Amino acid sequence: MKYIDKIYGEFEFTDVIEDLINTSVFQRLKGIHQGGAIFLVNPKINHTRFEHSIGVMILIKKLGGSIEEQIAGLIHDISHTAFSHLIDYVLDIEEEDYHEKRFEKVLRDKELNDVLKKYQLDPSKFVDIEKYQLLEYPLPFLSADRIDYTLRDLFQIGKISIKEIIWFLSGLKIVDNRIVLISQEYGKWFQSKYEFLVSEYFGGKQNKEVNILMKEIVKDCLTKGIIQEDDFYQDDFYLINKINRWVNLRKKIDEIKKVKIDNEKLTQKKRKIDPEILVDNRVLKLSEIS
């Protein structure tokens, strides 16, 4: 299958990667927006977990990761719920890890398992997704997941260009099976972009307001039995349709402009980046050299 990624370009996928993309559990990610509820007030921010997941896999492939690590990158978000992290806000989960706790259950999907077994791959190898260091490496360091959502989100909101992305990718290097940068210049650039993403986009007024509003609407719907927690296991549009049976969601969203909303009502995960830099054959954190 031919696939055109917004930030990495055109690729051809075959065999296990193609078959995994075509499973229902992965196709579902097309209906889950990467930015959560913000697309309801800003339709241009409409990229999805589907795009991000393929992007993470592509990045791992570009970095020379094994096919097993590419698969881990591809499926790492299959357990994400509708509206991405909205359920974390609804249930007041500060670590925003609701989807991580149900990953093992979703990984048992029969169609997904049949594909893996077809290619002699043991599904149990992917239960501990964090063992794949190119994919997941703890903050404040770099990982393929962290790099892709930063570049993808910032490109989608018009804050970086394809030229900048190509330049940054040229500064990535693998040392001891983790992602580092080849100079301070790349480190400072990424750190500044990541800080903007966290403070001005994730923590921005528009993003916080729409998530606060959706949090209150969804909590009310859960209390009244309009929706159930399991409905989050579908996608954004399924959840919207169920909510619309009770209240006109679009009308409610429009009220954002009329009502003063306390942004402190939304607690978001704390994120800070301090990328590792290769200096004279030593790996040091950016903060240690600047």
- In DSSP notation, 84-133 reads BTHHHHHTT-TT--HHHHTHHHHHT-HHHHHHHHHTT--GGGGSSGGG-T
159, amino acid identity: K
- Any residues with CB less than 8 A from the CB of 88 and at least 6 apart, and which? 94, 95, 96, 97, 98
Instruction: Provide mean pLDDT across the span 168-182.
Output: 97
Among 165, 154, 156, smallest CA distance to 8 is for: 165
Residues in contact with 262: Cβ distance below 8 Å, sequence separation at least 6, in sequence order: 212
What CA–CA distance (Å, rounded) separates 169 from 181?
9
CB 152 within 8 A of CB 47: yes
- Per-residue model confidence as pLDDT tens digits over 98-150: 999 999 999 999 999 999 999 999 999 999 999 999 999 999 999 999 999 99
Phi-psi domain of 120 (left: phi exceeds 0; alpha: psi -120 through 50; beta: other): left
Give me the mean pLDDT over the 238-262 stretch: 78
Instruction: Give the CA count within 13 Å in the CB-facing half-sphere of 253.
Output: 18
For residues 79-98, average pLDDT: 93
| Predicted pLDDT of residue 246 | 85
pLDDT tens by residue, 53-85:
999 999 999 999 999 999 999 999 999 999 999
Q: What is the pLDDT of residues 252-279, one digit of tens each?
A: 777 755 665 655 566 666 789 999 999 9
**Domain CATH code at residue 89:** 1.10.3210.10
**Start-to-end CA span in the chain (Å):** 45
Distance CA 46, CA 199 (A): 20
Sign of the torsion angle spanned by Cα atoms 18, 24, 27, 29: negative
Please state the pTM of the whole predicted model. Answer: 0.94
**Domain count along the chain:** 1
Cα 51 versus chain centre, distance: 9
Looking at per-residue pLDDT, the higher value among 290 and 69 belongs to: 69
Mean pLDDT of 219-244: 95
Residue numbers of the domain that contains 261: 2-289
